[in-house]
Amino acid sequence: MKIITRKRLIEAAVLIGVAVILTFTVDYYLSALRKAPEPENVYEPEPRIEYGMVIDSFYVVKDVVKQGENLSSILYRYNVGAQAVELLVTRAAGIFDVRKIRAGNKYTVLCSNDSLKKAEYFIYEHSPTRYVVFETGDSLHIHTGEKEVEVRIRSASGTISSSLWNAMADAKASPNVTVALSEIYAWSIDFYAVQPGDGFTVVYEELVVEGEQIGLGNILTARFKHGGKDNFAFRYIQDGEPDYFDENGQSLRKAFLKAPLKFSRISSRFSNSRLHPVLRIRRPHHGVDYAAPKGTPVHSVGSGTVLEARYAGGAGRMVKIRHNSTYTTAYLHLSGYGPGIKAGARVSQGQIIGYVGSSGLSTGPHLDFRFYKNGAPVDPLKVESPPALPVKNDYLADYNRQRLMLVRKLDSINMPVKQSILPIF
């Protein structure tokens, strides 16, 4: 039997003690590590980029051009000398005409971030989307750029109680939507005859730059209720050309516009016996009078050739247009003629051919609009116009698919008043 000596007992005790100490030490540090907070992620701020440049290192000035200011007067204020400005003007030739810098437009100056605050870049915004960069530092250089345009899909609907303009304002939609609708429905709805109870629902594109609305994109679809009837408009592209069609795939464009003026009112209608306001006798009035301010543009209701553009006695300044072998129109009492309007000139539908006036026998500014079929006067408000080409058979299935999708969107918009942002589809 082996006898354990005192020495070996002491050695064993020491080893056990060391093991215990090591165990506690390891447990302590592991516990400390488990309790230690996670190191926070340190994010560097995103660089601030404007006009395609990182601008963090500059002293930035934003302003608008004041009345009487020009490139020189602005840059002199930021310590750019006359010689440098002259070189910039020379180098800008063919890129941007500095004489077109206009009061009220925005500009940005990127200056050195020191006590001198000398301009290194001058950026002039000549439209909401386009700008010109003048590099005014060591390298005199000019280039142009464009801001990114965001397209938002919006909707609006309303019921007319007084006017389309007011209904559109109540729906918080851009007034440009009113103008666009009047152009889309120019062949099918007489906007001078819109009445209380008529209504609209429209889905359209809103153009936004840097969070600011800058204009209207395309009307994607609309439903205009007029006289108890729903008039649909669906935007569709075939053969690369966009157009608006109804629920049956028929084009909304027709050979003639519904009226030669935008947003006026009818003051006198077609009649075989009307009391003349100047002569005070009864005589035929084979036209429609539209009351409008002097200078209001008058548009040709269809493409054709100018037969006459002259002063014609009681008719005053008059333009007569032959559209085809059947139809001719005349525009009376004008204050002046549109650019290039003379006998023999070709005009396109919607082209300005004159301006409202009071020439000839007239008591005030208005347009006397006349329509002739095979040489005989007809009531312009009753002319039936043949439609343009419908959706082609090859595209009809795709058109119907898109049409149904757009109808669902129109149906999802509640009347009488609503305005919202819709997802892009």
Topology adopted by domain 150-254+404-422:
Nuclear Transport Factor 2; Chain: A, (3.10.450)
Task: Collapse the DSSP code of 34 into the 3-class scheme (helix H, G, I; strand E, B; otherwise coil) and give the result.
Answer: helix
By CB atoms closer than 10 A (0-12, 13-18, 19+), residue 142 is buried
3-class secondary structure for 108-138?
A: EEEECCCCCCCEEEEEEECCCCEEEEEECCC
344 conformational bin, left if phi > 0, alpha if psi -120 to 50, beta if neither: left
Per-residue pLDDT band at 425 (split at 50, 70, 90): very low
| pLDDT given at position 230 | 93
Residue 417's pLDDT is 42
Which range in 23-27, 45-49, 336-340 is most confidently predicted, on average pLDDT? 336-340
Closest CA to 262 of 167, 163, 179: 179
Can you tell me the distance from the alpha carbon of 210 to that of 216, in angstroms, rounded to the nearest whole number? Answer: 15
Confidence of residue 164 (pLDDT cuts 50, 70, 90): confident
pLDDT at 194 over 90: no
pLDDT digits (tens, 9 = 90+) for 27-86: 666 666 566 555 566 566 788 889 989 999 999 999 999 999 999 999 999 999 999 999
Please determine whether the domains at 49-146 and 150-254+404-422 fall in the same fold group of CATH: yes
Q: Which band of pLDDT confidence, cut at 50, 70 and 90, is reported for residue 120? A: very high
Between 2.60.260.20, 2.40.10.330, 2.70.70.10, 1.10.357.10, what CATH number should domain 265-382 receive?
2.70.70.10
pLDDT of residue 220: 96
C-alpha to C-alpha distance for 93 and 131, rounded to whole angstroms: 15
Specify the pLDDT at position 36: 55
How many angstroms separate the CA atoms of 180 and 193, rounded?
17
Give the tens place of pLDDT for each residue, 383-423.
877 777 899 999 999 999 999 999 999 998 854 444 444 43
Tokens 């840059």 locate to 75
Separation between Cα atoms, residue 413 and residue 425, nearest integer Å = 15
DSSP run (H or E) holding 27: helix 6-35
Every domain of the chain and the residues it spans: 49-146, 150-254+404-422, 265-382
Which pLDDT belongs to residue 415? 47
Residue 164's H or E segment, with its range, is helix 164-170
Tokens found for residue 334 = 């004008």
State pLDDT tens for residues 82-92.
999 999 999 99
Tokens of 108: 């940005």
CATH of domain 49-146: 3.10.450.350
**Does 166 score more than 50 pLDDT?**
yes
